[in-house]
Chains A and B, each alone.
Chain A
Amino acid sequence: GQNIDQPTEMTATEGAIVQINCTYQTSGFNGLFWYQQHAGEAPTFLSYNVLDGLEEKGRFSSFLSRSKGYSYLLLKELQMKDSASYLCAVPLTGANNLFFGTGTRLTVIP
């Protein structure tokens, strides 16, 4: 089966850097996704990691360690609009149906 653990809530200051951690257990690894979801809105894709290491995409980076069952999302130069939930997810099967963690609610304060 699958299991994902993420912190429930985090608070960070505008302009700062924040790291959101995710640990996972899955039977058969098929990559790890990060999605952003603003309250009441649709989740939007941020990143997909299948190999170990850091992938950078603008202000957002995602890291994966398959041996440790661990990933993190790094957000730099935080902006107020980054206040949202960040969802870690792994595929349930070889297809794209995803098992989501409960998400980390990030609040950015001035």
Chain B
Amino acid sequence: DSGVTQTPKHLITATGQRVTLRCSPRSGDLSVYWYQQSLDQGLQFLIQYYNGEERAKGNILERFSAQQFPDLHSELNLSSLELGDSALYFCASSQQGGKAEAFFGQGTRLTVV
């Protein structure tokens, strides 16, 4: 158990819908990262938050957004869903310090039908 909690574990929804994925980082970790893993793309960095502020952005679509709350949990919002958004979405957390090991949650498997 990495100490990073993601909910829900599985999500099935229809095209055009909007979903919210939730992540609770390890106790004491200020940084939260979101990654997308689809079968043909591998793990892709989406966005990073540090202590409530957006720190870095990767290949995140405009239909996707995220935020980190004062209690440090984070949510990833995916809207106008398309079939191609079906993937595993991982959250990871780490301590402050650029080279700190990242701990990954078990992921949310999103299926868009």
Interface residues of A (CB under 8 A from B): 30-31, 40-45, 48, 50, 87, 89, 91-103
Contact = CB atoms under 8 A, between A and B. Distances in A.
Interface in B54-113: 55-56, 58, 88, 90, 94, 97-107, 109
B43 interface: yes
B42 A94 contact: no
Nearest to B102: A96
Interface residues of B, number: 28
Nearest to B90: A42
Given A92-B45, A97-B56, A42 B99 contact: no
20 contacts: A30-B98, A41-B107, A43-B90, A43-B104, A44-B2, A45-B101, A48-B99, A50-B99, A92-B56, A94-B98, A95-B48, A96-B94, A96-B97, A96-B100, A97-B45, A97-B55, A98-B102, A99-B45, A100-B45, A102-B42
Nearest to B104: A42
* The 3 residue pairs across chains A and B that have the minimum distance between CB atoms: A42-B104, A100-B43, A102-B42
